[in-house]
């Protein structure tokens, strides 16, 4: 019996449609697998935990983690599952000893700000606020010497440990802003214009050291100095607290500052996800 040609063509078309449907289903499944919720671990010090936002999570620690901190904001924007291990006052040794436990081969994203406390920045600023005739130039110079000579090795130890614990993660190292714009708006702080300039220079040195070590480990570096350049202490739109009550809130990003950080960090993390 001879099958009509039009019947053959219909059968071929039907088969092609069925195959296409199967392929589409498989592709949807593949897309769903890649859309799995990324695992994000936030490490570091008070600049990551959210000190300065004046609202903290009651988690049984003194880490002063805030829902207004940039890791929380970035995780929400990315739809990531955040493990928030950053802690106020942390130094590099604290990261190594206390903050790496949640890193695994399944960790997708890591952010970290660290190094400021190792360099003793809070103590230096406290001394800068001492009344005349005391000045903090020597303290700043000592901090800069530490940054240049000792901090690189400490950062290397932390970055190597992060990579060892989270071999597949995209790591974004987050820097610190300059604090001052040359104006004085709080007489109680007693920090002179000269000292403010020296502290800003120290922030530049710190940024250079952190950026270089991050690059050496193939980590991304987010530099906030430009974004904060019109939002320093005493600006008309401050992203940083000046001398505050309580004092622990001083010289840290406020809620607007953490939004500014999130605006920088989120694209860096998003780009990492798009490459994975």
Which residues belong to the active site? Answer: 46, 252
Burial code (b: 16+ CB inside 10 Å, e: under 16) for 32-71 equals eeeeeebbbbbbbbbbbbbbbbbebbeeeeebbbbebbbb
Rounded to whole angstroms, the Cα distance separating 182 from 131 reads 19
Q: What is the dihedral of CA 104, 207, 141, 237, to 10 degrees?
A: -110
Q: What is the spatial distance between Cα 170 and Cα 270, in angstroms, rounded to a whole number?
A: 10
Can you tell me the distance from the alpha carbon of 125 to that of 121, in angstroms, rounded to the nearest whole number? 6
CA distance 23 to 166: 34
Q: Does residue 133 have a cis peptide bond before it, meaning omega lies within 30 degrees of 0?
A: yes
Cβ atoms within 10 Å of 116's Cβ, excluding its own: 24
Tokens of 21: 């449907």
Q: Can you read off the two tokens belonging to residue 257?
A: 């500052």
- Of the candidates 231, 118, 110, 103, which has an alpha carbon nearest to the alpha carbon of residue 177? 231
Whether the ω angle into residue 246 lies within 30 degrees of 0, i.e. cis, is: yes
178 close to 200: Cβ distance less than 8 angstroms: yes
């Amino acid at each position: 019996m001879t099958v009509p040609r039009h019947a053959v063509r219909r059968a071929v078309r039907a088969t092609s449609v069925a195959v296409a449907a199967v392929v589409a289903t498989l592709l949807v499944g593949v897309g769903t697998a890649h859309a799995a919720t990324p695992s994000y671990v936030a490490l570091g010090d008070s600049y990551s935990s959210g000190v300065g936002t004046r609202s903290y999570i009651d988690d049984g620690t003194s880490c002063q983690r805030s829902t207004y901190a940039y890791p929380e904001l970035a995780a929400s924007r990315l739809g990531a599952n955040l493990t928030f291990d950053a802690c106020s006052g942390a130094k590099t040794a604290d990261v190594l000893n206390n903050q790496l436990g949640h890193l695994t081969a399944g960790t997708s994203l890591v952010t970290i700000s660290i190094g400021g406390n190792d360099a003793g920045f809070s103590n230096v600023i406290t001394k800068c606020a001492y009344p005349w005739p005391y000045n903090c130039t020597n303290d700043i110079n000592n901090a800069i010497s530490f940054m240049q000579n000792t901090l690189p090795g400490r950062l290397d130890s932390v970055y190597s440990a992060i990579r060892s614990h989270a071999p597949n993660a995209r790591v974004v190292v987050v820097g610190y802003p300059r604090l001052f714009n040359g104006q004085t708006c709080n007489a109680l702080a007693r920090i002179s214009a000269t000292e403010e300039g020296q502290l800003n220079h120290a922030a530049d040195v710190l940024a250079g050291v952190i950026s270089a070590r991050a690059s050496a480990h193939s980590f991304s570096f987010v530099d906030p100095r430009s974004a904060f350049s019109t939002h320093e202490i005493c600006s008309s739109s401050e992203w940083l607290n000046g001398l505050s009550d309580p004092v622990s809130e001083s010289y840290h990003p406020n809620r607007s500052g953490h939004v500014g950080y999130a605006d920088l960090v989120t694209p860096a993390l998003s780009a990492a996800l798009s490459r994975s």
